[in-house]
């Protein structure tokens, strides 16, 4: 009887997980040598491969470039038809192959050796042509593919991907690559925004509702309504922040006070409101909103001068949340 879809999927995951776990035994002196060689290289890491290994190579190159290690991809088939010109004198070359015996690889390896570039092999067959001719070998041997016929590259390509990630992360550490550095390479994505977008980039587009402590209730309500931010700052004559009034404060006041004619801003304001400075990261502003369970923050300069309001919706709009 055939296995169910769930059983096949579970078996696939188990086989590939075991292959990844088995890589730990291959994190040896060769791996350390490879990391140091790439780190000390005065050029780039040129990654090559054929078939599914080529696709893995492209992903590894993308990861390396985004984490501070200059890299480029050179398809093994194209390399022997002109793309060898991509390799410069000080580059290190990494060739990825499960068998290490592909015809294109066998043609490419001697050419690279003639150029005197350091050759690193990421290979699943230590007795292969590629492994025997490389300066450094990264072992990605797997016991079996997840494919029921042990043919389609599955576990082997997963192992290659993980070994590439291990290489990239070690290089990140050696390069002291920080979150700020990461943001420089990802300015258009949400990850980058979390690292560089600041309060001052967001609140300036909002209205700037404010009232004096002496403002009557009608003025307070109109100010909150017109701003569409659900709140207003209470400031003194010098525009320094004194307090804050939210639409919730107004509703609670209406429940408890019958004579509304004499109610002023000073009667319902919350004194010493939570403020934030414009140079604070937007992601830190979100943490502050979440911690205190509020939807808006008063933006003020270090001297307490009122600048505007940052609302939770501003963070949602920019994808910070």
For the chain (321 residues), the mean pLDDT of every run of 10, in chain order, is 86 95 96 98 97 97 94 94 92 97 95 94 97 98 94 95 98 88 68 78 93 94 93 96 94 83 91 94 91 94 96 87 69
Same domain, 214 and 160: no
What does the block give as tokens for 308?
């505007």
**3-state secondary structure string across 207-266:** CCCEECCCCEHHHHHHHHHHHCCCEEEEECCCCEEEEEEEHHHHHHHHHHCCCCCCCEHH
Q: Which of 146, 177, 208 is the last residue of a domain?
A: 177
Tell me, what's the pLDDT at 192?
Answer: 65
44 burial level (CB within 10 Å; 0-12, 13-18, 19+):
buried
Tell me, what's the pLDDT at 7?
Answer: 93
What does the block give as tokens for 79?
């390399």
Is 187 among the domain residues? Answer: no
296-300 and 306-311: which strand pairing? antiparallel
Residue in 60, 208, 183 with CA at minimum distance from that of residue 120: 60
Tell me, what's the pLDDT at 41?
Answer: 95
The domain total for the chain is 2
Same domain, 82 and 116: yes
Same domain, 37 and 171: yes
In whole angstroms, give the CA distance from residue 206 to residue 228: 9
Q: Where in the sequence is the domain holding 250, given as residue range(s)?
A: 199-317
**CB within 8 A of 19, min separation 6: which ones?**
142, 143, 155, 156, 158, 159
């Amino acid at each position: 009887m055939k296995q169910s879809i769930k059983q096949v999927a579970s078996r696939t995951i188990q086989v590939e997980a075991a292959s990844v776990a088995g890589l730990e035994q291959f994190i040896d002196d060769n791996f350390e040598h490879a990391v140091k060689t790439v780190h000390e290289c005065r050029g780039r890491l040129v990654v090559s491969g054929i078939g599914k290994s080529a696709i893995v190579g492209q992903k590894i190159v993308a990861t390396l470039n985004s984490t501070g290690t200059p890299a480029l991809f050179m398809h093994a088939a194209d390399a022997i038809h002109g793309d060898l010109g991509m390799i410069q004198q000080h580059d290190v070359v990494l060739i990825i192959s499960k068998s290490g015996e592909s015809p294109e690889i066998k043609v490419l390896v001697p050419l690279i050796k003639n150029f005197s570039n350091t050759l690193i092999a990421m290979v699943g067959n230590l007795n292969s042509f590629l492994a025997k001719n490389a300066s450094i070998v990264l072992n990605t041997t797997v016991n079996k593919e997840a494919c029921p016929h042990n043919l389609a590259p599955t576990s082997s390509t997963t192992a290659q991907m993980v070994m590439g990630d291990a290489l990239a992360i070690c290089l990140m550490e050696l390069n002291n690559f920080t979150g700020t550095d990461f943001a420089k390479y990802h300015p258009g994505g949400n990850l980058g925004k979390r690292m560089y977008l600041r309060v001052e980039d967001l609140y300036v587009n909002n209205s700037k509702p404010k009232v004096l402590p002496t403002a009557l209730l009608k003025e307070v309500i109109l100010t909150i309504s017109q701003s569409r931010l659900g709140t207003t700052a209470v400031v003194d004559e010098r525009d320094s922040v004194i307090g804050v009034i939210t639409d919730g404060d107004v509703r609670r006041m209406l429940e408890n006070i019958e004579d509304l004619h004499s109610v002023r801003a000073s009667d319902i304001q919350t004194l010493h409101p939570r403020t934030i400075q414009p140079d604070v990261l937007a992601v830190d502003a979100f943490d502050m909103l979440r911690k205190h369970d509020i939807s808006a923050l008063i933006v003020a300069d270090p001297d307490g001068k009122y600048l505007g309001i940052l609302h939770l919706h501003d963070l949602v709009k920019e994808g910070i949340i």
